[in-house]
Structure 1
Amino acid sequence: MAISVETFFLNPDAQGTLQAQIQQVVAEGILSGRFHRGEKLPSSRKLANHLGVSRITVTLAYTELLANDYLTSRGRSGYFVSDNAPVPPVYAPSHRTPDRVDWPRAFCRTFTGGDTPHKPGDWHSYRFPFIYGQADPTLFDHANWRLCALRALGQKDFTSLTGDYYDQDDPLLVEFIARHTLPRRGIAARPEEILITMGAQNALWLTAQVLLDSTRKAAVEDPCYHALRDILRQSGCQLAPLRVDADGLPPQELPSDTDVIFTTPSHQSPTTATMPLARRRALLDRARELDALIVEDDYEFELAFLAAPSPSLKSLDSDGRVIYVGSFSKSLCPGLRLGYIVGSEPFIRQARALRASVLRHPPGHLQRTAAYFLSLGHFDAQIRRMSKALHERRQVIEKAVSDHGLTIAGRGVYGGSSLWMQAPEETDTSDCMRVLAKEGVLIEAGAPFFAGPDRPTHFYRLGYSSISSARIGEGIGKISRHFANQRLRI
């Protein structure tokens, strides 16, 4: 890689000769890690013209750096950063302007400090990654995704690649969702009732921004998806957490002044409970009684390898009060960040306008690639492959959990990719999570899913989408031994 000549500047207040200043600029670039080993420097002629100095001055500076082993010369190819140069592993700017702003006073609102926990970016380096929501590279159809991406780069799709949709979406992707994805959930929708989002979390944020403010109350499941609770708090609304039971959200517990209800009826997050049909109808009746809206997050419905998923709330809705959120992140890959909202046209119109003011639209090339991948049948083939693998892993992990005497607090009745677990009541799984990570085992502590100051600390989640069947048993054994040792200490 060549180092751009535009990155070289001489400090007008610097001391010493021009030759010494050029040497210092190059040496500092190397020592700070900004210039990497093997990278080519600008030619002496180009750098001299850029800095407004004589070419001989640059040549002499390069020659001195060559003698000190900062640079190496490769015949007529020019000068390169030497392999023996003392380059630090990470680039850190050597000169920074002091920050004298009182940032806490400058902020109108803060968005840090929520419940969403940190997940290790290097999770794949752990031997037993019982981590939820990450992709298994062995299950992703990379070859066909690549072919679809190349097709989307073709001349025929030039507009989708380079055009600005402003507030619109790829018509091919919207059509596929309307004609193929939504009918599987019993939902009929026109293109004007569908909005593509940057994943389900972006969809939930848009929904909260459009429907909630400080005068309105949102009912949310407890425990629930921690990022959703962060989003709702940021909206400034009044929050009413409702403890779920074995059937999910209890409609009779909804406060009488509820404006919006957020729920995951098909696969409650994180307990995996599935709301029975009778309760779904009761929830719709209660929402009608309160004149409240319902936001249905229908994640993981595709991964139904044990039984067919129950009808979506949206399919049972006769009033247009259900806003449906779907995502391809869990079924394709988390990094894809493609989801969608389905709702009445007046709502979608406002959500579309808000999205346009923030990010206009998800990248056109990404949408067209996904549209090809879906419409050519690759998505359905991948779902079948994932379901088969997850079913096998589910059987292995349930047997291992049983053999080691661990307790399952919730398991999805139709599939999914995780188990909601319960440790001995005196256990703090946040501490266990840190200790187990040192042994190569990743689990997810349950406390951040709960609302309020007195959160239960003895729940945890085990994902099995990112760990091979061959490693599950040994990993569960390590978790079991850790809990046993904890009891002995107590």
Structure 2
Amino acid sequence: MELHIRLEGGKGLADQLYQQLRAGIDSGHLAAGSQLPPTRLLAEQLGVSRKTVAEAYSRLTYDNLLSAVVGRGTFISQRRAPQATPTTVVELAASASLQRWQQRATVLARPGLNSPSRYDFIGGASSKAQFPFDQWRSCMQYALRRSQRHPERQFHAQGLAELREAIAHHIAYARGVHCSAADILVCNGAQQALDLIARVLVEPGCRVAMEDPGYSPARQLFLALGAQLQSVPVDEQGLCVEQIEPGTRLIYVTPSHQFPLGMPMSEARRQALLDRAAELGALIIEDDYDCEFRYQGPTSDALQRLDRHGLVAYVGTFSKTLLPELRLGYAVLPPAVLRAACVAKHLSDLHSPALQQWALARFINEGYLSKHIRRCHEIYSARRGRILQRLQGDLAPWFSAVPANAGFHMSAMASPTVDVELLIKLVRKVEVGLYSLAPFFSEVPVRPGLLLSFGAIELLDIDPALDRVADTLRQIS
């Protein structure tokens, strides 16, 4: 990389070079410890004599701004950090808009993620101990070889055809979704899928309905786009469909594993939701975020399978099934929505990373994903069973589990005697991470309880963690 120096005229070149280097060092733009180019190289770059550069370097060395290390080169000396120059900040014309964005709640973006508790029931995270790193490494190496011989320099926003084919086969087998590769849009996680769908459907003032309690990042996204949001309550059968207001354009639901409470939507309620959407001409976003894992009862098909009018946008992710760092998801979209969303995707980030798409396609086609899900199903089932035993045992005086047959989290509703926020604060001191349901409620009255995820906590850690919770509950009771 060339050093940015601009010399003018043919006289005083050494002094110009000295002044510019000194100004860069004093301002901190040339950082302490950085190596300067050799005199011969810099002279060639600037089109001056080597003597000119050597003279400037010599003066800077005399000022203790440079130091020469034999056999290595010339380096900028360590100095005290320069004092910041006072600046006058001009208020931006868009300051009101910026303030609205800054005030948006980011419930799941927890600042304490870098220092988690020893025993953590954090939601949305899976255990890295189960992830098949060796198989993924081989798939990434395959992707690098593909990239090396791939003639294309640009990729379609919709995603690589082979990954979309692999996803179509997987979700047809695992979730009963009716689709082909042509119906799928590959995204950077489910959150981008929600963003793209909302971006092409939601205009300021239009009505969007979603569950309450519900998935807060979706709620904040719709509000940020100017939607008039209706918070629709849920009961033991799921979304209360009859309360969806006329004029609704978009309906967001988690029918297979309601977030955060966990119960599935009944078959009757699903059909009622599809009928209501047809009356309104509303699109339904079905967020099927973790339903590869089902532990008891008959497997329920995706809502999309029941759709006969092209009203369901099915959204899934591999961040929950595999690794949060993967950030790959997908949406199965009706044709008109797909075409618009592909344009929005192209304008947003052109396309999702091709290397990861090739690797994931290989991972699915080689059967690694199915094996991983089967292995994790057994592990998560054991963890879920142990938490249920404790909730139905010594923790029963304080908490009761909400029936949930899928995913890797459950909710536990608190008895009136439990101060959930105080409990969370106290158990944090004994290295247990618990999380309240309260942030997921919007307009309906908050039902105090806990979101207990068993994706990241090991089976042998559940009892020690819940022992500490039980001890704390006895103390505050």
Q: 1:93 to 1:200 in 2, by over 3 A?
A: farther
Counting only pairs closer than 5 Å after superposition, residues 36-115 of structure 1 correspond to structure 2 as 42-43=37-38, 46=41, 54-58=53-57, 61=60, 73=69, 75-78=70-73, 95=84, 98=87, 100-103=89-92, 105-108=94-97, 110-115=100-105
What SS is found at the alignment partner of 1:296? strand
User: Alignment partner of 1:261: what SS?
Assistant: strand
Output one character per residue of 1:264-284: Cα deviation in whole Å (capped at 9) or x when no partner.
000000001111222212222
Q: Distance in 1 between matches of 2:414 and 2:55?
A: 73
Q: List aligned pairs for 1:246-285, cutoff 5 A.
A: 246-285=236-275
Post-superposition offset of 1:48: 7.2
Deviates more, 1:223-232 or 1:236-245: 236-245
Structure 2 unmatched ranges of 5 or more: 8-14
Point out the more displaced range, 466-475 or 425-434. 425-434
Aligned to 2:10: none
> Is contact 1:5-1:46 (8 Å) kept?
no
**Equivalent in the alignment of 1:413:** 405
Contact 2:39/2:53 (CA < 8 Å) preserved in 1? Answer: no
Matched, 1:234 2:224: yes
Post-superposition CA distance 1:406-432 (Å, at most 9, x none): 413424213x21121223446554454
Contact 2:167 2:181 (8 Å CA) reproduced: no
Please point out which of 153, 171, 177 is paired with 1:187.
177
Partner Cα separation in structure 2 for residue 101 and residue 286 of structure 1:
50
Cα gap change, 1:425/1:123 in structure 2, threshold over 3 Å: closer, same or farther?
Answer: farther
Please tell me the residue identity of whatever aligns with 1:370: L
Q: Quick one: structure 1 residues 29 and 387, their matched pair in 2 at CA, closer, same or farther if it must change by over 3 Å?
A: farther
Match of 1:442 in 2: 433
Residues 1:120 and 2:115 aligned together: no
| C-alpha deviation, 1:166, in angstroms | 4.2
Cα distance, 1:56 vs structure 2: 5.0
Q: Is the 8 A contact 1:303 1:383 kept in 2?
A: yes
What letter matches 2:439 in structure 1?
P
> Is 1:203 the counterpart of 2:193 in the alignment?
yes
Shift of 1:136: 1.8
Question: Which residue is equivalent to 1:482?
Answer: 472
Asked if 1:372 is matched to 2:365, the reply is no
Q: Distance in 1 between matches of 2:43 and 2:476?
A: 68
| Letter paired with 1:379 | L
Asked if the contact 1:409–1:420 (Cα under 8 Å) also holds between the matched residues in 2, the reply is yes
Q: 2:124 aligns with which of 133, 149, 169?
A: 133
Give distance in 2, aligned partners of 1:443 and 1:372. 37
Give the secondary structure class of the aligned counterpart of 2:124: coil
Cα deviation per residue 1:218-242 (whole Å; 9 max; x = unaligned)?
1110000000100111121221111
Find the residue that maps to 2:284 and give its secondary structure: strand
Shift of 1:93: 8.9
| Residues 8 and 25 in structure 1, CA contact (< 8 A), matched pair in contact too | no
Deviation at 1:396, TM superposition (A): 2.4
- In the alignment, which residue of structure 2 is the partner of 1:315? 305
Change over 3 Å in CA distance of 1:94–1:263 after alignment to 2: farther
User: Is the CA contact (8 Å cut-off) linking 2:175 and 2:292 kept in structure 1?
Assistant: no
Shift of 1:437: 3.1
Post-superposition offset of 1:46? 4.9
Determine the C-alpha separation between the residues in 1 that align with 2:88 and 2:140: 43
C-alpha distance in structure 1 between counterparts of 2:221 and 2:212, whole Å = 15
Q: Is the 8 A contact 1:411 1:418 kept in 2?
A: no
* TM-score (norm. length: structure 1): 0.82
Q: 2:395 is matched with which residue: 404, 407, 417? A: 404
Mapped partners of 1:48, 1:428: distance in 2: 72
**What is the CA-CA distance between 1:134 and the residue it aligns to?**
1.9
Secondary structure of residue in 2 paired with 1:289: helix
Instruction: Call closer, same or farther: CA 1:260–1:440 in 2, change over 3 Å.
Output: same
Residue of structure 2 in register with 1:462 after alignment: 452
SS in 2 for 1:153: helix
Aligned CA distance change for structure 1 residues 155 and 204 (closer, same or farther; 3 Å): closer
Partner SS state of residue 315, structure 1:
helix
- For each residue in 1:431-485, what CA deviation from the matched residue of structure 2 results, as whole angstroms up to 9, or x when unmatched? 5444433432222222210113x75272221211111122221222223333444
Greater Cα shift, 289-298 or 336-345:
289-298
Q: Is the 8 A contact 1:116 1:448 kept in 2?
A: no
Runs of 4 or more above 6 Å deviation: 7-10, 16-21, 47-52
Q: Residue 128 of structure 2 aligns to a residue in which SS?
A: coil
SS of the equivalent of 2:402 reads: strand
Retained in 1: the 8 A contact 2:42–2:53? Answer: no
Distance in 1 separating the partners of 2:82 and 2:260: 42
Q: Which residue of 2 aligns with 1:13?
A: none
* 1:278-357 alignment, distance < 5 Å: 278-307=268-297, 309-357=299-347
Backbone CA RMSD of aligned residues: 3.5
Shift of 1:398: 2.3
Deviates more, 1:187-196 or 1:140-149: 187-196
The offset of 1:28, in angstroms, is 7.6
SS at the partner of 1:259?
Answer: strand
1:222 touches 1:244 (CA, 8 Å); kept in 2? yes
